[in-house]
Amino acid sequence: MNKHVTIFLLALGVMGATAGCGDPIPTGNAPVAAPAAKKADVAEDVAAGPAVDEYFYNPAGKRDPFKPFYDTGKDKGVGAPIDPNTPPLQRYDVDKFVLSGVIWATNVPRALLIDPEGTGHCIQVGTYVGRNWGKVTSISDEAVVVTEEYQTIDGELVVNPVTVHFPGKDTKK
């Protein structure tokens, strides 16, 4: 008898615990228009737009998050394989070059950029530098400015000036 009481109480407990699960049973007296009104309110809220400002990521001037922190020695900072016909100044990203010297007191200022392999390249305004077809736009006594232009996925033109300074100079003023 004690065993039957235990089974009965256990079954009653399971039924009581699961009685609140699921959708309530609709009755014939419930108004039908109330849920439609709630859906209309939600549609108006969605049509009004988001209340939060949208954020757009701009990768210009930031390091590639998929490159490892340590040098594997495989690519010497190059990244993807390069066509052997690519000019030497366009084999590396602009930020990989180091400014070594500037001749700026002439009609056509020139600068000497050192690539990651240690080779020097003499440049002037209008020279293409970097893998993104950056063009040298100005040469001063302290730095060289290379301007890269590219399109976003949305078709918007982005102009990114990259400044190459002498090594050891404080670039933040």
pLDDT (mean) for 105-118: 91
In this prediction, residue 113 has a pLDDT band, given cuts at 50, 70 and 90, of very high
DSSP category for residue 160: E
pLDDT, tens only, 44-65: 655 555 566 777 777 777 777 7
CB atoms < 10 A from the CB of 111, how many? 24
Sequence-separated (6 or more) residues with CB below 8 Å from residue 96? 77, 115, 116
- Is this model's pTM higher than 0.95 or not? no
- Tokens for 146, please give them: 């290379």
Report the range of poorest mean pLDDT among 12-21, 74-83, 97-106: 74-83
Q: Please check whether residue 162 is in contact with residue 61, taking contact to mean a CB–CB distance below 8 angstroms.
A: yes
What the block records as the tokens of 120 is 């020097």
Residue 28 — pLDDT band, cuts 50, 70, 90? low
Q: Which residues touch 109 (CB under 8 Å, ≥6 apart)?
A: 102, 103, 124, 125, 139, 140
- Distances in Å between the alpha carbon of 166 and those of 53, 123, 137, 142, 171? 39, 15, 17, 7, 9
- Looking at the chain, the whole-number percentage of residues with pLDDT higher than 90 is 25
CB 160 within 8 A of CB 147: yes
CB atoms within 10 A of CB 127: 19
pLDDT value at residue 127: 94
**CATH architecture of the domain with residue range 55-173:** Roll (2.30)
